[in-house]
A and B are shown apart, each in its own frame.
Chain A
Amino acid sequence: MEVVTQYIDHKTELEQHIVALEAEQASLISDISALKERLTTLEMERHASSLSSEVEALRTEKAVLEEKISSYSVESVASSEGYQV
């Protein structure tokens, strides 16, 4: 009788432990899925931010270059007409 009781106790204990672990497993899978999504969003935000900085730098560089080109154009017109600028 004692052996039977021990068996039932052990079996019940195992089943309860399994149920608890299955719940934890489901919760972890859900958390991991949410974290992966969050990580992807963060990586995209970082990439977007980096791209914005690069675009801004390129715009500045372009503006500087355009400024330089325009200054060369004015110099060239002045020298060809005998004016000093």
Chain B
Amino acid sequence: MPYTDDEELPACPNCGTPNDTPSKVFSVIVEPKEGERGLTQRKVGMYQCSKCGTKYPIIVSRQKYLVIAEDQLKKIQSDVKDLKRTNEDLEQSVGSLKRNQEELEEMIKEKEKESQVKQLEVKLRALEGQVSYLKKEKGELEEKVSRFR
């Protein structure tokens, strides 16, 4: 397993020379200690120092495995399947609700526009009435003034 820049290279325990390439990697299964659960798989790399020739092992990675009964595993798998289905249903519901929300927002915008137009129409009608009344009043006054001539 190659090392990245961020990781510290394994160093020779004898002379401290870093080494990034193991000569061999093998897996080791470690049984649980008392009170622990599961097995641990360790990948161990064997390194040989290029300077002093010392051979030394370094644990490259660890993977823990739990051992459970088949019934229990099947139940967990079934639960996961159910949860995935529930999740899909919920995602569909959320999508549907979002679409409904968008439709409602659009409808509200339309209603607001209609309301604005209605208000303008009411104002227009009122103004038309007032202007008509004022025209009549002006006509009557002009008639009165003309009678003086």
| A residues adjacent to B (C-beta < 8 A) | 7, 10-11, 14-15, 17-18, 21-22, 24-25, 28-29, 31-32, 35-36, 38-39, 42-43, 46
The reply to whether A14 and B141 form a contact with Cβ atoms under 8 Å apart is: no
* A36 contact set on B, CB distance < 8 A: 141
The reply to whether B138 and A31 form a contact with Cβ atoms under 8 Å apart is: yes
Option from B128, B138, B142, B145 in Cβ contact (under 8 Å) with A21:
B128
Which of the segments B33-41, B61-69, B113-121 contacts the partner chain? Answer: B113-121
The reply to whether A22 and B127 form a contact with Cβ atoms under 8 Å apart is: yes
The reply to whether B141 and A42 form a contact with Cβ atoms under 8 Å apart is: no
* A38 contact set on B, CB distance < 8 A: 145
Q: With contacts A14-B120, A18-B124, A42-B148 known, is A35 near B142, CB below 8 A?
A: yes
The reply to whether A18 and B144 form a contact with Cβ atoms under 8 Å apart is: no
The reply to whether A14 and B124 form a contact with Cβ atoms under 8 Å apart is: yes
The reply to whether B138 and A35 form a contact with Cβ atoms under 8 Å apart is: yes
Option from A25, A32, A46 in Cβ contact (under 8 Å) with B141:
A32
For this complex, 22 residue pairs linking A to B, each with C-beta atoms less than 8 Å apart, are A11-B120, A14-B120, A18-B120, A18-B123, A18-B127, A21-B124, A24-B131, A25-B127, A25-B130, A28-B131, A28-B135, A28-B137, A31-B138, A32-B137, A32-B141, A35-B138, A35-B141, A35-B142, A36-B141, A39-B144, A42-B148, A43-B148
The reply to whether B120 and A15 form a contact with Cβ atoms under 8 Å apart is: yes
Q: With contacts A7-B113, A28-B135 known, is A14 near B130, CB below 8 A?
A: no
The reply to whether A25 and B145 form a contact with Cβ atoms under 8 Å apart is: no
Q: Is the interface of B mostly helix, strand, loop or mixed?
A: helix
The reply to whether B124 and A17 form a contact with Cβ atoms under 8 Å apart is: yes
The reply to whether A25 and B131 form a contact with Cβ atoms under 8 Å apart is: yes
Interface 0/1 of B52-94, CB less than 8 Å to A: 0000000000000000000000000000000000000000000
* B123 contact set on A, CB distance < 8 A: 18
The reply to whether B127 and A21 form a contact with Cβ atoms under 8 Å apart is: yes
The reply to whether A14 and B121 form a contact with Cβ atoms under 8 Å apart is: yes
* A17 contact set on B, CB distance < 8 A: 124
* B142 contact set on A, CB distance < 8 A: 35
